[in-house]
Structure 1
Amino acid sequence: MVRRTVEGSRGSVVTGEEREPTPETVVVKANGRSGDPVAGGDDAVGVPIALTVFLCLVALYCRSTVSLWIMGFLLLLTFGPVSDKSKYGRAIGSFVGRYSPGHFHVNVHFEDVKAFDDSKSYVIAAEPHSIFPVGAVSLLNITGLMPLTKSKVLASTAIFCTPFLRQVTTWMGLVPATRKNFVNYLKAGYSCIVIPGGVQEIIYMSKDYEVVYLKKRHGFVRVAIETGSPLVPVFCFGQNKAFNWWKPGGKLYVHLSRAMRFAPLVFWGVLGSPIPYRSPIHVVVGKPMEVKQNPNPSTEEVAELHAQFLSNVETLFSKYKDATGNAGTELMIL
Structure 2
Amino acid sequence: MKTILAAYSGVLRGTGSSIFSALQDLPLGLWPCRSKMEKHLQVISVLQWVVTFLAMGAACTVLLIYIFCTDCWLIAAMYTAWLIVDWNTPKQGGRRSSWVRNWTVWKYFRDYFPVKLIKTHDLLPSRNYIFGYHPHGIFCFGAFCNFGTEATGFSKKFPGIKPSLATLAGNFRLPVLRDYLMSGGICPVNRNSIDYLLSCNGTGNAVVIVVGGAAESLHCTPGMNCVTLRNRKGFVRLALQKGSDLVPVYSFGENDVYKQVIFEEGTYWRAIQKKLQKILGFAPCLFHGSGLFFNNSWGIVPFCKPITTIVGEPITVPKIEDPTEEMVDLYHDMYIRSLQSLFDRFKTRYGLKESDILHVQ
Counterparts of 1:1-334 in structure 2 under 5 Å? 35=38, 38-39=41-42, 41-49=45-53, 52=56, 81=83, 85=95, 91-95=99-103, 96-112=105-121, 115-140=122-147, 142-143=149-150, 144-145=153-154, 146-148=157-159, 149-160=161-172, 165-187=177-199, 188=201, 189=203, 190-251=205-266, 252=268, 253-254=270-271, 255-257=274-276, 259-260=278-279, 261-271=281-291, 272-327=298-353, 329-334=356-361
Pick closer, same or farther for the CA change 1:124–1:55 going to 2, 3 Å. Answer: closer
In structure 2, list runs of 5 or more residues that go unmatched.
Answer: 1-36, 292-297
Letter paired with 2:275? L
In structure 1, list runs of 5 or more residues that go unmatched.
Answer: 1-33, 60-64
CA contact (8 A) 1:105 1:279 kept: yes
CA contact (8 A) 1:47 1:274 kept: no
Larger radius of gyration: 2
Pick closer, same or farther for the CA change 1:231–1:54 going to 2, 3 Å. Answer: closer
CA contact (8 A) 2:243 2:317 kept: yes
- Pairwise CA distance, 1:98: 4.6
**What value does the CA root-mean-square deviation take over the aligned residues?**
3.7
Letter paired with 2:241? E
User: Deviations for 1:239-288, whole angstroms, at most 9, x for unmatched residues?
Assistant: 12222333533324245256434321223334144333332101111111
Letter paired with 1:281? I
- TM-score for both structures, normalised by structure 2: 0.68
Pick closer, same or farther for the CA change 1:258–1:230 going to 2, 3 Å. Answer: same
Letter paired with 1:285? V
Alignment match, 2:9? none
- Pairwise CA distance, 1:296: 1.4
- TM-score for both structures, normalised by structure 1: 0.72
Letter paired with 2:129? Y
CA distance in 2, matches of 1:290, 1:86: 28
Count how many residue pairs are aligned between Structure 1 and Structure 2.
Answer: 289
Pick closer, same or farther for the CA change 1:141–1:174 going to 2, 3 Å. Answer: closer
Alignment match, 1:11? none
CA contact (8 A) 1:93 1:171 kept: yes
CA distance in 2, matches of 1:122, 1:132: 23
Alignment match, 2:27? none
- Pairwise CA distance, 1:182: 1.1
Letter paired with 1:218? K
- Pairwise CA distance, 1:220: 0.7
Pick closer, same or farther for the CA change 1:246–1:157 going to 2, 3 Å. Answer: farther
CA distance in 1, matches of 2:194, 2:81: 22
User: Deviations for 1:118-144, whole angstroms, at most 9, x for unmatched residues?
Assistant: 332211111111111122223327412
CA distance in 1, matches of 2:300, 2:79: 20
- Indicate the structure with greater helix content: 2
CA distance in 1, matches of 2:56, 2:282: 20
